[in-house]
Amino acid sequence: MKLLLLVLAFALIVGCSDAPRTQLRVGFNLWPGYETLYLAKQKGLLADNIELVELLSATDTMDAFRHGRIEVAALTLDEALLLVSEGIALKIVLIMDVSNGADAVVARAPIVKLAQLKGKRIAYEQTAVGALMLHKTLDAAQLSMADVDAVHMPVNQHLRAFQSREIDAVVTFEPVTTQLVNQDHKVIFDSAQIPGKIVDVLVVRTAQLSHHFDALQTLISAQFAALAFIKSNPETAAQLMSPRLGLKPNELLAALDGIALADMPTNRDLLVGTGTPPPLQVTADQLLAVLLEHNMIAEINDVDDLVDARFVTQ
């Protein structure tokens, strides 16, 4: 009897220790291009062992990934490159979307032109994409960082800071962009003016790939199914997705016009392509050069093996 109890106790301990390892935790901040994952959950497309973890900002998502609190992170490509530069081994397994206007610089009246940013207080999130958007905005305005009062601020504080008049302009993204525009503030620069630079991807720690292979395949298949649902039922999808984003369904559909959601053919084209290297690798190399030029990132020895396209080619 004692032996039986010991065996049962051991099995219970092993079972409890295995449970956390089999759970695939997917972390991301609020952004319409990531909300497709919650749509997949609402449609019952995600397995029980796939947990969606909403975080307050991209900064928080990167921190959770660094410290192993999530296995998968939805990030911009430049943020993924930043993690690689820190020595974190990861793979890009999916392109979520490409921003084509949804990332923006919003200004308070009377600012209507980029040159009017001189001497103004501009908030931006201290991430690579925030810094990239700010630098591109200043380049277009023929200004330098010395010409403005730039302050670091996570995205979950952007709306409040604008409403309390702590800042004159903000580098932000949907849904905050639409929320500010609804209050009669103006977009004076957006990601459509730097096409292909802001790409959202799903990254996985290289060491976790084999252990979570099946769950990752389920997750990515669910993402493609959610995109198909949006395409065939846009109004219904918008009604399901908009509440968490704090937008009306028609506002979400308008916001999605500034985002190119990446379906399976698009992923195959960009992650695999027809030549060597694949298109996303070329984009990563170009983006890395920009980040290095502006001292936004440390030197990376090798970015030639970032992509694992198995999940979009099966």
| Same domain? 59 vs 117 | no
| Same domain? 76 vs 119 | no
**Percentage of the chain lying above the pLDDT 90 cut:** 78
| Same domain? 225 vs 300 | yes
CATH code, 126: 3.40.190.10
Question: What is the per-residue pLDDT for 1?
Answer: 53
Residue 10 resides in a domain: no
- Domain span at residue 266 reads 21-99+198-312
Using DSSP's 3-state secondary structure scheme, residue 101 falls into: coil
Question: What is the per-residue pLDDT for 89?
Answer: 94
> pLDDT tens for residues 46-71?
999 999 999 999 999 999 999 999 99
pTM of the full structure: 0.84
282 pLDDT more than 50: yes
- The mean of the pLDDT values for the chain is 90
313 pLDDT more than 70: yes
259 pLDDT more than 90: yes
| Same domain? 203 vs 93 | yes
Name the domain count of the chain: 2
Question: What is the per-residue pLDDT for 129?
Answer: 86
| Same domain? 297 vs 239 | yes
| Same domain? 91 vs 119 | no
| Same domain? 308 vs 215 | yes
When pLDDT is cut at 50, 70 and 90, the band that residue 9 belongs to is very low
**The tokens of 137 are what?**
């905005």
Residue 15 resides in a domain: no
| Same domain? 252 vs 296 | yes
Q: Which of 59, 77, 68 is nearest to 25 (CA)?
A: 68
Residue 207 resides in a domain: yes
| Same domain? 164 vs 202 | no
Q: Domain boundary residue among 193, 219, 248?
A: 193
